[in-house]
Copies of this chain bind each other. A is one copy, B any other.
């Protein structure tokens, strides 16, 4: 698949996934859930104050009957009930409503009724459809792990590989991004990229991994040719592993802010179920794509 439209087509052919929206009482999350239902690939339960939900539906002209509603008028309790539903397999995908990211993540991390497998690494994985790149780009982490340790990078890399596969890429090519393609021993991003490349070469981790690669040679065959790089990944990356949150965040925001036609999706990987973590500033398209991407990860 190369576009989100193809993802929607595939999802329609799958069984409908069950979405649990934690404190789903604001227009952003209710509208996104409504559109996902209308797109035909999920059903949704809103956990929140029924009166607030009714008001939003009225204002946005949404037929409230399309939702299941669990009337919980207290934010923290609503989060707990939504997370518990996923924990108990009564729902497939968790989604953030009006609650803060902090409260939402603490719900996922709860030891009794949360979604965290032992030793799990939670990471934010994004997918970008770019008008000037011929296929999806899957990357992380741009929102959850500030400076991943090596073991966390391995986890993020595995999530990227899995998402690439869910999008139909049989043998994903992952660039471990750095500021240069030279293996400079003074730069941790370069050193760890070399380590990951070798681990992939030895079959210790999945995917076809090469790094360090600067973004130009990761994405552009010509730039790689000028620099005489021998690399199966260079110029043809499916995935980008960023060395720190700032570089991932800048990649995401530079493209979403400055490039018309870019479409994105994201979710939190590493929990026992995919978790959608949209921000208020996300577009409706991004919110809907993110629900679709999360549904696509459900086994």
Interface residue ranges, A against B (CB under 8 Å): 130, 132-133, 142-143, 146, 177-180, 186-187, 189, 214-216, 219-220, 223, 226-227, 242-251, 253-260, 280-281
Contact = CB atoms under 8 A, between A and B. Distances in A.
A141 to B, nearest CB: 10
A258 B179 contact: no
Contact of A254 (B142, B146, B255): B255
Q: Which of A146, A223, A258, A280 has the most CB of B within 10 A?
A: A258
A247 to B, nearest CB: 4
A250 B251 contact: yes
The 3 tightest CB contacts between A and B, nearest first, are A215-B253, A246-B247, A179-B249
Nearest to A245: B179
A258 B257 contact: no
A187 B132 CA distance: 33
Given A146-B179, A244-B244, A247-B246, A223 B258 contact: no
B256 A258 contact: no
B132 A253 contact: no
A280 B179 contact: no
A261 to B, nearest CB: 11
27 contacts: A130-B258, A132-B258, A132-B260, A142-B179, A146-B186, A177-B250, A179-B245, A179-B248, A180-B249, A187-B245, A189-B246, A215-B249, A215-B254, A219-B257, A223-B257, A223-B281, A226-B280, A227-B280, A244-B244, A244-B247, A247-B247, A247-B250, A250-B250, A250-B251, A254-B254, A254-B255, A258-B259
B260 A258 contact: no
A178 B226 contact: no
Which of A179, A215, A223, A227 has the most chain B CB atoms inside 10 A of its CB?
A179
Nearest to A180: B249
A216 B281 contact: yes
A258 B219 CA distance: 9
